Amino acid sequence: MNHLARTTVPPSLLGALVATVTHAHTLEALARPLLELLQTATGMESTYLTRLDESAGVLHVLYARNTHRLTVPEGLSAPWQSTLCKRALDEGRFYTDDVAGQWGDCDMGRTLGLMTYVSAPVRGRSGELFGTLCAASDERRTCSETSTHVLALFAQLISQQVERERLLVALQQANSSLATTVLTDAMTQLPNRRALLEDMQRRLASNQEDQALIVASVGLDNFKPINDRFGHDVGDLLLQAVAKRLRRMLRDSDIAARIGGDEFVVLAVEQRERADEAGAALARRLESATKGRFKLDSALVDYEGASVGVVVAEPGCSHAQALLNRADAAMHAVKRLRKHSASLPTPSVRSIARYAWPVIE
C-alpha cells in the first residue's frame, strides 16, 4: 500500500488497483483491469499491451481496451521497425500529442489515425524488452505527470507478473524433468523399476475383469562374459541396443522397462480368455527381438536371445511386486533350462551367447 501511495496513484484508483494486483494470477487477469484503470487515469480512448517477438521483428497487440471511435484491435501485428513503440524507445520520447507531426512516416500511427500517444516499456528483470504498455487517442490530449507515473507503475506491475509466469514455467519444466529422471533408467532411457511398479499397480487397480495383465521378465544370458571379453562400454551398448529392439516391438498399450543389471520387463494387456496364448506369443517375440547380430562400436556380437519368463495376473491380483517376483522366478527357470540344454553334448545345441570378431572396415 505504501509503495503504491509513493507513486502518486490517485485515491480514486488506489482501491481498485490493490484489488486487481491482489487477485490477478495470470498476465491477462492483471492486464485487462489495468488497461481499464489506465483509461481512467489518462483519459485516452484506447489502452493496450504489446508483446515484442524480437526474433521475428514483429510487435503484437496482446490485450486492448477501446472506447469511442479509436480502435486498436487485439491481435494486430506490425513490423517492429515501423511502430510508434520503437520510435518512442529510440528517441526516449514516450509522449506526444502530435503523432502525425512527430512520426508522420510511421505506418501504424497513420493507419490507426492516432493523434496522442503515450507509452512505457515493459522489461524483464535482466532488462530485456517484453513489450510496451500504451495509451492513445485520435484527439489531442494532455498527459499529466500523474498519468505518466501511473503508466510507469502499471508497466512495472505487468513486468513483475511476466517474471512470475516465466519462473512458474521454469519450475514446472524443472519438476517435469526431475520426475522424468526419477522414473527413467539413465542407460537405456526406458522406464525404471519404480516407474514399472507404479504402472503395474495402476493397471491392477483398474480391475477390468475381462482383461488380464501379462508380465514378461527378460534376462540377458551370459551378459557378464560379454563385459569381460569386450569391455563394459560394449556391454552398455548391448543394453541400449536391446532396449531399442524392445521399443520397436511394443504395441501402443505395452510398456518395456529396465529394472536393473541385465534384466528387462515388458507389460501387456490382453483379453483374459486368450491371455495365456498371448503370453506365449509375447515370449516368442521377445526371444526373437533379443536374438541376432549386434554391431556394437568396434565389435560384432552374435547373441542367441534372452531367457523370457511370462506370467498372467490372476483375477483379483493387487500386488505388483509379488506379480513381478513370479515373472522373475519364471525367467530364472527358463534360464536354468537353457543353461542345462547348452551343456548337453548335442551337436545341434549352441551356447547361448557366442562372440565374434572385431569389425574390420
Q: Based on the residue annotation, tell me whether 262 is a catalytic residue of this protein.
A: yes
User: Interhelix angle for 232-249 vs 223-230, to 10°?
Assistant: 130
- Write down the residue that cell numbers 490372476 correspond to: 314
Q: Which of the following is catalytic: 138, 185, 221, 262? A: 262
Looking at residue 314, the DSSP 8-state letter turns out to be P
CB 150 within 8 A of CB 38: yes
Element (H, E) at 132: strand 129-137
DSSP summary character for residue 191: B
All three cell numbers of 230: 569386450
Kindly state the helix (H) or strand (E) to which residue 284 belongs, with its residue range: helix 275-289
Residue keyed to cell 515484442: 52
Look at the block and give the residue holding cell 571379453.
Answer: 229
DSSP letter for each residue of 212-265: EEEEEEEE-TTHHHHHHHH-HHHHHHHHHHHHHHHHHH--TT-EEEEEETTEEE
Cβ–Cβ < 8 Å for 264, 309: no
Residue 286 corresponds to which amino acid?
L
The candidate with the shortest Cα–Cα distance to 288, out of 303, 305, 300, is 305
CB proximity list for 250: less than 8 A, separation 6 or greater = 256, 266
* β-strand pairing of 211-219 with 291-296: unpaired
Residues belonging to the active site: 262
